[in-house]
Chains A and B, each alone.
Chain A
Amino acid sequence: MSLADRISATIEELKLWLRGLYHGMITHPAYEKIEKEAEDLEDAFMLACFPDAFGIPSPVSYYTAELLPYLADEFEAWQRRLWDRDSLVERKGQQYHF
């Protein structure tokens, strides 16, 4: 194996590592963060739709009940999440994977 080959092989290896690091440290956490934010927003939406599930009366619950057929899967998961939510720091800091 010539020196040139070894150099290019090392560069390839390095590129792979860099890409991996870039993905792992920059892009993925960023997208994860956005997705988390989307989930949080969705939870807020669910809470605004069905506050009576937690004992808060809502003027529109008669109308939001119409959304239940479409939200069935989410509804249950959401309820479980809200009953047992981590602390805010825990939730917001999850992307650091300590």
Chain B
Amino acid sequence: MTTFNFFGGKGGVGKTTVSAAYGLKCVRNGLETLVVSTDPAHSTSDVFDQEFDDRPRPVAGYEGLHAMELDPEEEVDAHLSELRTQLGQQLSPAMVNEISMQLEMAHQTPGAYEAALFDRFVEVMQNAEEYDRVVFDTSPTGGTLRLLALPEYLEQWIEHLLHKRKKSIEYYERAAIGDQQARKMLDGDPIIARLQERKETFEFAGETLRNDSRFTIVLNPDDLSIRESERALAEFSEADLPVAGLVVNKLTPEPDPDETGRGGTFLRDRVETEKRRLEEIRTSLDPPVVAEIETRVREVKGSLLEEVADEIALETKPSA
């Protein structure tokens, strides 16, 4: 049984690092793991010092760890050009221009990125049998998480369209008297087939997200990050999605007691503030804090990544 782990949070809180470290932890516990990044900046490549693309590739140096990077912009373009080809095949060139406008517009709407990503997420989920664990490093836009919470809503939309289409065809069939051919038939209507297919995808996604997925929110010990996480949690609970825990990242390391210089005082004050924030996180936010990760001196890579992996107390066993 594959389990899906989603890491979300505000931009810059360290989702990629935490996802990669968690993936590493899973591998260490003997799970075949795939890390899926949606960051167009390709930061997973930076973490592992290796290039990835939109197909799963083994990560060099870590047996059992795989990674892939999705670029939402590329996905949107691919979707657009696929439809364009389809249009070209079925239509006269004169018509294509009119439709192209609508097509282009649909791919520039604010939701297009999220929809394209969502599609690919579902695709990954559908083809994940060979992995025990799939870790999604979601892109910083709040939209991705929102879309994940929305398959039910989209499903209803599609259902609504399906109903309308069926109704109108039903009337066409009724209007055809005697041996007269109905203008449109319910059987083999490509629109209904397509909408049905979509609906099933959303159903699958909704089920997988509710039953086989766990969400982890990464946050920093600052006010903005806490507020944002609060809102995200509210959305998750509204969508009935399970949040497994919170990862607090970028904590300031405590200075030695004998350090009394400017740096030492600064750090001590800072640690003091963060302690209060941490307390606030523990009391005001519901899910347990599963990891407290200190800021590192440099980018988290290689051995540092392994260190961070040790600090994440998130269960890797599917039963938890």
Contact = CB atoms under 8 A, between A and B. Distances in A.
Interface of A: 27, 31-32, 34-35, 37-39, 41-42, 44-45, 48-50, 52-53, 57-73, 75-76, 79
B181 interface: no
B102 A75 contact: yes
A34 B174 contact: yes
Contact of B83 (A32, A42, A44, A68): A68
Contacts of B112: 62
B320 interface: no
Given A31-B175, A34-B174, A65 B103 contact: yes
Contact of A38 (B89, B107, B160, B172): B172
Given A62-B111, A65-B106, A72 B99 contact: yes
A58 B95 contact: no
Nearest to A47: B164
Nearest to B172: A38
List the 7 closest pairs (A to B, CB-CB), nearest first.
A38-B171, A41-B168, A65-B106, A62-B115, A35-B175, A45-B164, A34-B175
B12 interface: no
Nearest to A27: B177
Contacts of A64: 106, 161
Contacts of A59: 111, 153-154, 157
A60 B83 CA distance: 16
Given A53-B102, A62-B107, 11 more contacts: A35-B172, A38-B175, A52-B105, A59-B154, A61-B106, A62-B115, A65-B83, A66-B194, A68-B87, A68-B102, A72-B91
A52 B79 CA distance: 18
B55 interface: no
6 contacts: A34-B175, A42-B168, A60-B161, A68-B102, A70-B90, A70-B190
A67 to B, nearest CB: 5
A37 B173 CA distance: 12
Q: Please indicate which of the listed interface residues B157, B169, B175 has the most CB atoms of chain A within 10 Å of its own CB.
A: B175
Contacts of A65: 83, 102-103, 106-107
Given A45-B165, A53-B102, A69 B87 contact: yes
B156 to A, nearest CB: 10
Instruction: Indicate the member of B102, B168, B175 with the most A CB atoms within 10 Å.
Output: B102
Contact of A69 (B83, B107, B115, B174): B83
Nearest to A39: B168
Contacts of B319: none
A37 B98 contact: no
Contacts of A49: 161
Contacts of A44: 164, 168
A63 B198 contact: yes
B109 interface: yes
A52 B106 CA distance: 8
Contact of A61 (B109, B158, B183): B109
Interface string B63-92: 000000000000000010001001101110
B110 interface: yes
